[in-house]
Amino acid sequence: MILGSNSTVRLNKGIGQTPASTNAGDTSTEIVAANASRTSVFLTNIGKENVWLSCDAAALLDKGLFLGKNGGAILLDATSFTIGPINGICTSGKSSTVVYQETNR
């Protein structure tokens, strides 16, 4: 790409939101609410149980995006993010804490 002297390249420099956390339970739980301004979201599983994530649909055990226990993390950015809800689920009878931080336009 060739840019002229009056061109500007805008990188994804959104506004970081305050980190938050949610407990994923043994049924599909909304981890991050829908957000039409979202440009990325970083999620980390700080709990002691594995968590599976689903974007825009109910989370299913052993299906979807995997967050390993004790620090598993994923970044959903411009190539892979959703503005819809992000749901999570973990092993039956258990729960696990997922910390997340969104970036908005």
Please tell me the predicted confidence (pLDDT) of residue 79.
Answer: 80
Asked if the structure places residue 4 within a domain, the reply is: no
Please tell me the predicted confidence (pLDDT) of residue 15.
Answer: 75
Asked if the structure places residue 38 within a domain, the reply is: yes
Asked if the structure places residue 91 within a domain, the reply is: yes
Asked if the structure places residue 56 within a domain, the reply is: yes
Asked if the structure places residue 22 within a domain, the reply is: no
Asked if the structure places residue 12 within a domain, the reply is: no
Integer Cα distance of 43 and 61 in angstroms? 18
Domain of residue 60, residue span = 31-104
Please tell me the predicted confidence (pLDDT) of residue 6.
Answer: 41
Please tell me the predicted confidence (pLDDT) of residue 48.
Answer: 95
Residue ranges of the chain whose pLDDT lies below 70: 1-14
Q: What is the DSSP pairing of strand 51-55 with strand 86-90?
A: antiparallel
Asked if the structure places residue 54 within a domain, the reply is: yes
Residues 34/38/39/40 CA torsion (nearest 10 deg)? -60
Please tell me the predicted confidence (pLDDT) of residue 68.
Answer: 96
Please tell me the predicted confidence (pLDDT) of residue 4.
Answer: 40
Nearest to 51 by CA among 33, 32, 25: 25
Asked if the structure places residue 98 within a domain, the reply is: yes
Please tell me the predicted confidence (pLDDT) of residue 9.
Answer: 36
Integer Cα distance of 59 and 4 in angstroms? 47
Number of domains present in the structure of the chain: 1
